[in-house]
Amino acid sequence: MITIIFYILATVTLGTAILTVLSKHPVHSAVYMIVCFFSIAGHFLMLNALFLSVVHIIVYTGAVMILLLFTLMLMNLNEDHAPKKKVASRIAAVISTCLTAFVLLAVLLKSNTVIDTYRAENIDFASVKVIGQVLLNEYLVPFEFASILLIASMVGAVLVSKREKKA
């Protein structure tokens, strides 16, 4: 049962990812990408990582994709009048992607995992409570640095995209 759900979710993830890359209109890409991110949140949910699943939906589909869609509508892009990429460079892109996939899969197909028989122990490691404790005890300093990074990027984004006054 759960295996079937996994395969359906994996198909949705890969299919919408490919559609994201290949669809002509950028808005279609963004919409397919939202579906892809929802299915990844479904994977997190199946892994019993509830916090990550909710954070993934909030951050990616809530914040990142809205930002992307707003930018797309601000730019009012039309892919139609844009000239096509050269055929040679498209073939090169596909070949190099296939080579990357081949190398990664060839390495990973032959590898064995460290733990032979996986045995689930009854430790609570994925609940929100435990993650909060680990985040705020062990990783408190990186947490604060992440907030500094976020505020710096916010100021930077405003500064970069601000219209400059003509002197």
Partner 1 sequence: MSNILQEIGINNYIYLSVLLFCVGVLGILFRRSAIVMLMSVELMLASANMLLAVFSVYHQDASGQVFVVFSMAVAAAEVAVGLAILVAIFRNIGSIDIEKLKNLKG
Contact 61, 32 (CB under 8 A): no
Q: Which of 87, 116, 141, 163 binds partner 1 (CB under 8 A)?
A: 163
Cα–Cα distances in Å, from 20 out to 24, 105, 125? Answer: 9, 22, 34
Q: Which of 38, 56, 57, 61 binds partner 1 (CB under 8 A)?
A: 56
Q: Directed axis angle between helix 128-137 and helix 140-161, to 10°?
A: 90
| The two three-digit tokens of residue 146, written as one number | 């992440």
Q: Which of 8, 73, 144, 156 binds partner 1 (CB under 8 A)?
A: 156
Residues 6+ apart with CB under 8 A from 52: 44
Question: Contact between 74 and partner 1 (CB under 8 A)?
Answer: yes
Cα–Cα distance measured from residue 39 to residue 17, given in angstroms and rounded to the nearest whole number: 10
Q: Which of 31, 54, 75, 116 binds partner 1 (CB under 8 A)?
A: 75
Shortest Å distance, C-beta 38 to partner 1:
11
Question: Contact between 46 and partner 1 (CB under 8 A)?
Answer: yes
Site residues for partner 1, window 95-154 (CB under 8 A)? 96-97, 100-101, 104-105, 108, 113, 115, 118, 120-123, 125-126, 130-131, 134-135, 138-139, 142-143, 146, 149-150, 152-154
